[in-house]
Amino acid sequence: MITPGEIGKIRTSAADTNGAYTMLEVVAQPLNGVPVHIHTNEDEHFVILEGTLHFAKGDVKLDAPAGSTVTVRKGVSHAWCNISDAPVRMLIIFSPGHVEDMFRAIMAGASQDELAALTETFGTVITGPPMRDDIFSFLSPRQ
């Protein structure tokens, strides 16, 4: 998910791929991340271009440096965060790609109340907090 402190852009839309996938480019600043969540409708694929992403996938925790890929199948809980002191740049591919409207709304500045409805509408279930207490996410944005 795109959170405050990140820069996100839809690089390939579901319309471009007949719904097969959507590709986002995300730049996550230090101490940004996402809460533990599950996508019920799509697989999520990460391609780390710059920096190192700290990742939890099910019960496994790992660091994914530039050049790494991580795939999360639908229904698997996961979270990520940037615990380094430099930005992390990555591509995130969702297949199928119909979740992109959720990201459009988030990037447009959806409110906290709107976010809960958005995640539910698009089959994203928040199951826990971010991986660390000092991580900023859409649940706990920087003030």
Q: What is the pLDDT of residues 66-98, one digit of tens each?
A: 999 999 999 999 999 999 999 999 999 999 998
Residue 143 — very low, low, confident or very high, per pLDDT cuts 50/70/90? very low
88 lies in some domain: yes
22 lies in some domain: yes
Residue 8 identity (one-letter amino acid)? G
Which structural domain, as residue segments, surrounds residue 113? Answer: 6-126
Residue 68 identity (one-letter amino acid)? S
Mean pLDDT of 10-14: 95
107 lies in some domain: yes
* Residue 116 CB partners (closer than 8 Å, separation 6+): none
14 lies in some domain: yes
User: Looking at the 3D structure of the chain, how many domains does it have?
Assistant: 1
With the CA atoms of 43, 123, 119 and 131 taken in that order, what torsion angle do they form, in degrees rounded to the nearest 10? -50
Q: What is the pLDDT of residue 102?
A: 85
Picking from 106, 72, 89, 112, the residue whose alpha carbon sits closest to that of residue 30 is 89
114 lies in some domain: yes
Here the CATH number for the domain that contains residue 79 is: 2.60.120.10
65 lies in some domain: yes
Picking from 49, 57, 11, the residue whose alpha carbon sits closest to that of residue 28 is 49
Residue 8 — very low, low, confident or very high, per pLDDT cuts 50/70/90? confident
20 lies in some domain: yes
Mean pLDDT of 39-55: 97
141 lies in some domain: no
Q: What is the pLDDT of residue 103?
A: 80
Q: Is the peptide bond before 96 cis (omega within 30 degrees of 0)?
A: yes
Picking from 1, 72, 9, the residue whose alpha carbon sits closest to that of residue 40 is 72
With the CA atoms of 116, 33, 126 and 75 taken in that order, what torsion angle do they form, in degrees rounded to the nearest 10? 130
Residue 24 — very low, low, confident or very high, per pLDDT cuts 50/70/90? very high
Q: What is the pLDDT of residue 109?
A: 73
